[in-house]
């Protein structure tokens, strides 16, 4: 099997960029909030984030979680935000490249050098970050396929979401490795025959090493 017969399919979110949970200091500075104002930590402190627990238990969706956090931040800052992307753009500022994981850059460089094809399968790339976001991230030009449910309306873990990506790649599921930080999306990918790796946002380097090993890379 050659490199072009294989693909690395990534979620965006916490897989490619540092999560909003990891960058509270930057968010507080950008929004003019006192340090320590934002206390929700999602996967970094599940017991201290009841909304996160509700999302993980499927009592609310991921989009619901971020709509509620957006509303809270709007109240704290006096903003009249109506979209999740309003909050994310204000928090991430004019330089989203600054929060891209260095481990991601290294992993796709190694994959690209081996001829591995690259794709993104996201539930809310432009919904969260805004339609102009991709223009500020030149690294995304290395991805030949970007499937975004903002436009397709088909959200992971619906099997159709994965097939939309596979159809554009023209590859069988077994030839691709799918990486996501949400267990439900990993389960959905596994059900359609994809090789999978659940990304650990607390150990990004280890997660990328594991994903690359599934594609046939040795460690290092």
Question: Does one domain contain both 82 and 134?
Answer: no
Is residue 30 in a domain?
yes
Assigned token pair, 197: 């790796």
Domain that holds residue 121: 3-17+100-214
Question: Does one domain contain both 108 and 204?
Answer: yes
Cβ atoms < 10 Å from Cβ of 71:
14
pLDDT of 119 over the 80 cut? yes
Pairwise CA distance, residues 191 & 180, whole Å = 14
What is the rounded end-to-end Cα distance, in angstroms, of the chain? 21
Sorted by sequence, the CB contacts under 8 Å of residue 129 that are 6+ apart come out as: 85, 88, 89, 92, 96
Q: Residue 218 has what pLDDT?
A: 67
Tell me the pLDDT tens digit for each residue of 43-67: 999 999 999 999 999 999 988 999 9
Is residue 219 in a domain?
no
Give the chain's domain count.
2
Question: Does one domain contain both 161 and 206?
Answer: yes
The overall pTM is greater than 0.75: yes
Give the gyration radius of the chain's Cα atoms. 17
Pairwise CA distance, residues 10 & 147, whole Å = 10
Question: Does one domain contain both 107 and 209?
Answer: yes
CA quadruple 157, 159, 163, 164: dihedral, nearest 10: -60
Q: Which of 96, 111, 142 is the last residue of a domain?
A: 96
CB 140, CB 156: distance < 8 Å? no
Averaged pLDDT for residues 2-10: 86
The percentage of residues in the chain with a pLDDT greater than 90, rounded to a whole number, is: 80
Q: Residue 94 has what pLDDT?
A: 62
């Amino acid at each position: 099997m050659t490199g072009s017969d294989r693909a690395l399919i990534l979620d965006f979110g916490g897989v490619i960029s540092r999560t909003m949970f990891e960058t509270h200091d930057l968010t507080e500075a950008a929004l003019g909030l006192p340090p320590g104002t934002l206390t929700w930590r999602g996967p970094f402190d599940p017991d201290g984030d009841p909304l996160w627990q509700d999302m993980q238990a499927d009592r609310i969706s991921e989009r619901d979680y971020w709509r509620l956090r957006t509303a809270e931040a709007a109240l704290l800052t006096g903003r009249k935000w109506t979209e999740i992307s309003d909050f994310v753009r204000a928090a991430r500022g004019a330089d989203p490249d600054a929060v891209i994981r260095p481990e991601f850059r290294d992993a796709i460089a190694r994959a690209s050098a081996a001829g591995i094809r690259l794709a993104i399968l996201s539930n809310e790339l432009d919904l969260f970050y805004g339609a102009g976001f991709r223009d500020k991230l030149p690294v995304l030009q290395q991805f030949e396929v970007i499937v975004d449910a903002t436009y397709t309306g088909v959200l992971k873990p619906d099997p159709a979401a994965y097939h939309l990506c596979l159809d554009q790649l023209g590859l069988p599921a077994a030839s691709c490795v799918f990486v996501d930080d949400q267990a439900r999306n990993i389960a959905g990918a596994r059900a359609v025959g994809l090789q999978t790796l659940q990304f650990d946002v607390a150990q990004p380097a280890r997660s990328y090493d594991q994903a690359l090993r599934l594609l046939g890379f040795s460690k290092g």
